Amino acid sequence: MDRRDFLKLSGLTASTLVLGGCEDYHARLEAYAVRPEDMVPGMPTYFATACEMCPAACGAMARVVEGRVLKLEGLPGHPVNHGGLCALGQASVQMEYHPDRFYGPDIRTTRGQPSTEYLALERTVHEAFASTSRPTKLIDNMKVGVMSFGKPDFKLGDRKWADAHAQTARTWPAAISRLARGLTSGGAATLILVGHQIRGHRHALLADLATALKAPAPVVVEPFGDDATRVANAAVYGRPELPTYDLANSELVILFGDDLFTSGLAPTYYTWGYGAMRRARPDIRGMLVVVGTRFGEAAAVADAFIAVRPGTHGAIAQALLPSSSGGISLAQAATLTGASPDQIEELALLYRTLKPVLAIGGTEVAAQTNAVPALAAIAALNVAAGSVNRAGGVLAPPPPPIADMAPPAPASYRVLRQWADSMAAGAIQSLLLVNVDPFLAFPDAYDLQGAIQKVPFIASFSTLPDDGTAMADLIVPDSTFLERWGDSTPAVGVGAAVGNLIQPPVDPFFASKPVEDVILAAAKEAGHDLGHADGEAYFKAMWAKLAPDTSVPGTQSPWVKALRVGGISRSASGPDYDAHLPILTAPVAPAFRGDPATRPFHLVPVRSTKYRNGLGSALPWMQEWGDPMVTGAWGGWVEINPKTAARLELNPYDEVKVESDRGSLLLGVVIYPGLPEDAVAIPLNFSRVCGTRYDSAAGGSVWEATQKVDPGRGADVRALLEEVIEPRSGQLAWGATRVSVTPTGRQVPPGKLVLVSKSIQAQENPALPHVIHREFKVWPIG
């Protein structure tokens, strides 16, 4: 796509203005309708867009210098992130320039193996890189006074590079034809699996394709997601969608086992809400109480942490409820959960006295076989406290500004599994994987590989290699959200109707193409004209549905305005919830797989802020940065309570075999004070079998400078998980596995367990010189 094409856009030449509603931040936002001539070399240009790294849908500004996007920054005043941006959003530029990004489309003859044409292409591209003047010899840098190494990159105008680019681009027509044939052969037996980031009109277009093919609607893969929450919400609030949790105006927040701020479905929004809840109101400091098993980031910032046995959160919620609505006694709750009665009583007192109060049930609760009743009991706390439909409580999310942008409901694990079973049965002829790695959705206990092998044609639309692309016959490299058009709405309520417009601040870096362009072209070739020329035309048509804002005289079309400010947002509220207290029975006990005698530990799979859903592990910044609690980096570890470690005579860096009835993993030991003695925790998603050089299980060459041997990240925790399904929602209960831990008598190989801070590890490690039992107590902190 040529930059000059955009001159055609509404005839605008330069449109420079300060973002409305956030004058404080002095940055010029450019609509993507600026002539290159209007950009000053070396001067950054900001484009308003939105982050697509997760379903939170944060507003963002892309900083572009001379055609390269250098940094993503939060869009000031955006209702989701209020100007902030999370770590993964910050790391998104590493996806843009990822060394393992697909250079162009690849039609494969053998699954898992790049075609010879693609490999030749790869060589050409590498040669183009090599034609740049980066210092290759270390000695170069010993030259007196050499400081900044000559050049940071190749020039975009470089001929070799341009040739490589053109050569790659020429492979597209064949790829589109291949896809068209795949669509034809698939027909109604085509299955479209989409990732959780696919929302807005991107999802709508895929749905249109499915309709045209008479195939089933696209299936949104969100297996660890909110199925249980949705079922519970429907039962208590009357509607399933994920509500607005108005932390900012709350006086007491009770979090049941959730690391809402660091992962969660809208980390930035909740983090902003937390900050505001604490200190934005002059005389009120909201309180936070965490009820949970693992002491994580949320517990770290909480005023109180109430430790409960895995899967017993619901009992605490029920202890706070009046007995008329299914409440139980404090003593009963204490015996069920293992929490101290004093703490429960204190919480009950807070719950009664502070208003508004907000109870949030999170993933730790949702991970169990009793997820739905537990989450319902937690939601009931909001109803009983009168917090529904009120500021500081639970609010119904308003519908998005354009109706068909609404976030699609994800499929539950049970549904996903049915699709996988039909693949295994040979009922699926074509499989389209759009921005999704289906292997993340299944524990290794389910033979997804076997099922997928049965599908005759698989196309994967992805930017980076993953286990899904390894199965594909056709790789369709999607442009990143910094190179294409798109739109999105947040997955959870954020107190406003938000529609983000994603515009391409830069041209595609490699010869990638937006999914929309490819789908439209291939569908047309397969005889299904979906009615749009390309992605840009498509999104423009979709946004034309918006009625122009006539309240302010002289305003431009909604499209142009949205281009400038990154979309539209209206401070609307949805139709109020019609909430009612559910009828609660006695707390349902969670069920676990594995004999407690041989598998004495609960396995707590932790979603680390660093890795989140796998996307984090592919980006080197996210790998290297130490997890906030463990300070672990570059792969996985197993967290063990200090007393348990002492009992098993385990020291940090010792290697252990963690084994469930399904499989086993070798991992390095980390002493972690935030777990009960009968539980071990392992981060999720630090590796893939066929990932990039940064996250592949076997390891690639991570360091060029030091030429050291990369031990690889090792196999992911999915190897251990039992396939247990929460009966009421069909969600995978990934917290229901029991494991055993056996020391191997060795230490982990160097680089296999990486800890940025070793301070709490020292006391048990004789290799470290000293006892650091006295952690720093000098901080004058309350």
Partner 1 sequence: MADWISDKGLQTATGPRAAGRRWGLVVDLDRCTGCGGCVIACHAENNLALAGPLDTDQGRSFDWIRIERYWDGEYPDLKAQFIPIMCQQCEAAPCEPVCPVFATYHTAEGLNAMVYNRCIGTRFCENNDPYNVRYFNWFEPALNWPDPLANQLNPAVTVRSRGVMEKCTFCVQRIRDHEELARIEGRVMKDGEFTTACAQSCSAKVLIFGDLDDPGSEVSQLVQSDRRFRLFESLGTEPVVYYLKGGQG
Partner 2 sequence: MGMIVHPPELYPDEQINQDVLRPVFVTTWKWWILVAISGGGFMAGLATWFYMMATGMWVSGLHRPVMWGLFISNYVFWIGLSNSGTVISAMLRLSKADWRRPITRAAEAMTVFALLIAAQFPLIHLGRTWLFYYILPYVNQRQLWNNFRSPLVWDMMAIMAYLGGSILYLYLPTVPDFAILRDHAEGIKKKMFTLFALGWRGTRREWTTLNACILSLALLVLPVAVSMHTIVSWDFGMTLVPLWHTSIFGPYFVIGALYSGMALVITIILILRWAFGWQKYITPFHLDKLGKIMLVAALVWFYLWFNDYITAWYGKLPDEKIIFDIKNAGPFYWWQMTMMLSNTMVALPLLAFKKFRTSPWAMFILTIFINIGMWIERLLIVVPSLVQKGPSFTWTTYHPTWVEWMLTVYPLAGFTVLYLLFVKVAPLISVWEIREDKVACATKKMGQAELRAVVAE
Ligand X SMILES: Nc1nc2c(c(=O)[nH]1)N[C@H]1C(S)=C(S)[C@@H](COP(=O)(O)OP(=O)(O)OC[C@H]3O[C@@H](n4cnc5c(=O)[nH]c(N)nc54)[C@H](O)[C@@H]3O)O[C@H]1N2
- Decide which of ligand SF4, partner 2, Mo ion, none touches 547; Cβ closer than 5 to 8 Å per partner kind: none
Any residues with CB less than 8 A from the CB of 415 and at least 6 apart, and which?
A: 219, 730
Q: Which of 74, 78, 168 is nearest to 117 (CA)?
A: 168
CB of 197 to ligand X, least distance (A): 7
Residue 609 binds partner 1, judged by CB under 8 A: yes
Residue 660 binds ligand X, judged by CB under 6 A: no
Side-chain-side CA neighbours of residue 628 (13 Å) = 17
- Tell me whether residue 82 or residue 313 sits nearer to partner 1 (CB atom): 82
Residue 60 binds ligand X, judged by CB under 6 A: no
Question: Mask 700-719, x = binds partner 2 (CB under 8 A)?
Answer: -----xx-------------
Q: Which of 2, 42, 136, 142 binds partner 2 (CB under 8 A)?
A: 142
Residue 481 binds partner 1, judged by CB under 8 A: no
Residue 776 binds partner 1, judged by CB under 8 A: yes
Residue 106 binds partner 1, judged by CB under 8 A: no
Number of neighbouring beta carbons within 10 Å of residue 329:
13
Q: Which of 288, 328, 375, 441 binds ligand X (CB under 6 A)?
A: 441
Residue 772 binds partner 2, judged by CB under 8 A: yes
- Decide which of ligand SF4, partner 2, ligand X, none touches 758; Cβ closer than 5 to 8 Å per partner kind: partner 2
Residue 778 binds partner 2, judged by CB under 8 A: yes
List of residues contacting ligand SF4 (CB under 6 A): 51, 53-54, 56-58, 81, 85-86, 88-89, 267-268, 271
The position carrying tokens 């947040």 is: 490
Long-range contacts of range 642-649, CB-CB < 8 Å, 24 or more positions apart? 642/671, 642/672, 642/673, 642/763, 642/764, 643/677, 644/677, 644/678, 644/680, 645/669, 645/671, 645/764, 646/764, 648/741, 648/743, 649/743
Q: Could you tell me the CA-to-CA distances from 678 to 291, 599, 602, 639, 642 in Å, in that order?
A: 17, 10, 6, 11, 11
Residue type, 681: A
List of residues contacting Mo ion (CB under 5 A): 196, 222, 225
Q: Which of 20, 112, 135, 575 binds partner 1 (CB under 8 A)?
A: 135
Q: Give dist(CA 706, CA 670) in Å, integer.
A: 26
Residues in the chain: 782
- Tell me whether residue 132 or residue 449 sits nearer to partner 1 (CB atom): 132
CB of 348 to partner 1, least distance (A): 18
- Decide which of ligand X, partner 2, partner 1, none touches 441; Cβ closer than 5 to 8 Å per partner kind: ligand X
Question: Mask 82-101, x = binds partner 1 (CB under 8 A)?
Answer: xxxxxxxxxx-xx-xxxx--
Q: Give dist(CA 648, CA 528) in Å, integer.
A: 64
Q: Could you tell me the CA-to-CA distances from 198 to 209, 407, 673 in Å, in that order?
A: 14, 9, 38
Q: What is the DSSP letter of 247?
A: G
- Decide which of ligand X, ligand SF4, Mo ion, none touches 51; Cβ closer than 5 to 8 Å per partner kind: ligand SF4
Residue 769 binds partner 2, judged by CB under 8 A: yes
Residue 759 binds partner 2, judged by CB under 8 A: yes
CB of 693 to ligand SF4, least distance (A): 22
| Inter-residue contact 303 to 113 (CB < 8 Å) | no
Q: Which of 532, 718, 738, 752 binds ligand X (CB under 6 A)?
A: 718
Side-chain-side CA neighbours of residue 67 (13 Å) = 13
| Inter-residue contact 647 to 662 (CB < 8 Å) | no
Strands 738-747 and 601-606: antiparallel
Q: Which of 279, 352, 545, 647 binds partner 1 (CB under 8 A)?
A: 279
- Tell me whether residue 2 or residue 779 sits nearer to partner 2 (CB atom): 779
Residue 744 binds partner 1, judged by CB under 8 A: no
- Decide which of Mo ion, partner 2, ligand X, none touches 776; Cβ closer than 5 to 8 Å per partner kind: partner 2
| Inter-residue contact 240 to 407 (CB < 8 Å) | no
**Residue with nearest beta carbon to Mo ion:** 225
Q: Provide, for the chain, the percentages of residues in helix, strand and coil under a 3-state DSSP scheme, each rounded to the nearest 5.
A: 30, 20, 50
- Decide which of Mo ion, ligand X, ligand SF4, none touches 481; Cβ closer than 5 to 8 Å per partner kind: ligand X
* Positive or negative torsion for Cα 590, 591, 597, 602: negative
Stretch that binds ligand X, among 31-39, 451-459, 589-597, 603-611 (CB under 6 A): 603-611
| Inter-residue contact 108 to 474 (CB < 8 Å) | yes
Residue 436 binds ligand X, judged by CB under 6 A: yes
Q: Give dist(CA 270, CA 66) in Å, integer.
A: 35
Q: Give dist(CA 368, CA 582) in Å, integer.
A: 20
Interaction residues for partner 1, span 20-49 (CB under 8 A)? 24-26, 42
Residue 781 binds partner 2, judged by CB under 8 A: no
Residue 324 binds partner 2, judged by CB under 8 A: no
CB of 28 to partner 2, least distance (A): 37
Any residues with CB less than 8 A from the CB of 404 and at least 6 apart, and which?
A: 201, 204, 542
Q: Which of 74, 104, 186, 195 binds ligand X (CB under 6 A)?
A: 195
Residue 345 binds partner 1, judged by CB under 8 A: no
Number of neighbouring beta carbons within 10 Å of residue 649:
9
- Tell me whether residue 213 or residue 365 sits nearer to Mo ion (CB atom): 365
| Inter-residue contact 340 to 334 (CB < 8 Å) | yes
Residue 54 binds ligand X, judged by CB under 6 A: yes
CB of 741 to partner 1, least distance (A): 17
Stretch that binds ligand X, among 52-60, 115-123, 341-349, 421-429 (CB under 6 A): 52-60
Q: Give dist(CA 742, CA 657) in Å, integer.
A: 5
Q: What is the DSSP letter of 531?
A: S
Chain residues that interact with ligand X, rule: CB under 6 A: 52-55, 86, 88, 195-196, 221-225, 257-259, 263-265, 267, 293-294, 296, 310, 362-364, 367, 434-437, 440-441, 461-464, 466, 478, 480-481, 515, 604-607, 612-615, 684-685, 716-718, 735
Binding site for partner 2 (CB under 8 A): 138-139, 142, 144-145, 705-706, 757-759, 762, 766-772, 774-776, 778
